[in-house]
Copies of this chain bind each other. A is one copy, B any other.
Amino acid sequence: MRYEKGRKDSSRIKILEVASERFRNDGIAASGLATIMSDAGLTNGAFYPHFASKAELVRESIATALETQFEQIAEALAAGGPELAISTYLSEAHRDNPAKGCASAALLSEVARQPPETRQVYTDHFMSQMRQVAATLPHIKDPEGVALSVFATLIGTLQLARAVEGKELSARILAAGKDAARRLIQPNYDGAAS
């Protein structure tokens, strides 16, 4: 192997960058390789030396997006704890910029229809994020359960806020989501209370 595997491959990185944004913005099925490659400053034919198929690009794009998000969550948690992470996630800025936002909110229903390999990649990275958040809830009985439900609430809220027509309603949804998420991480909440 002439070019060692870890070799800097700026084209590959550029393709992944463009693709992960394009997928989040337009959906996976609706994003063509030609458009992605063109946006990356390349042509169709240069794709396959980098990725074996579109499915592989999808997997790696999802991984890339979720890894980036992992770091953003870490920063928000460090700077202001779960409260800040929640309000950042459910901000109007995030709602209005899906291309650079949460891949789960943008792609979750489409991920459910992907082949198992893709869903496994998603699962692994999602679980990392979940555990990352759970680690900040040591005072709660079932931190992972709570973290799962908080993620579900955040993702569902952001999707709803993006889907509905009407700025005011969208803002109400974001506010309701923020309240709910905060309540879920309150110390006296016991995930097994019911």
Contact = CB atoms under 8 A, between A and B. Distances in A.
Given A119-B163, A148-B172, A182-B194, A109 B107 contact: yes
Contacts of A105: 109
Contacts of A155: 156, 159-160
A126 to B, nearest CB: 7
Contacts of A180: 146, 149-150, 152-153, 180, 184, 191
Contact-size category for A? 35 or more
Interface of A: 26-27, 29-30, 98, 104-113, 116, 119-120, 122-123, 126-127, 144-146, 148-157, 159-160, 162-166, 169, 172-173, 175-180, 182-184, 189, 191-194
B164 A119 contact: yes
Q: Which 4 A-B pairs have the closest CB atoms?
A: A156-B156, A149-B180, A152-B156, A112-B162
A126 B29 contact: no
Contacts of A164: 119, 122-123, 126
Per assembly, the copies of the chain total 4
B173 A148 contact: yes
Contacts of A120: 165
Contacts of A183: 183-184, 189, 193-194
Contacts of A151: 156, 160
Nearest to A105: B109
A110 B112 contact: no
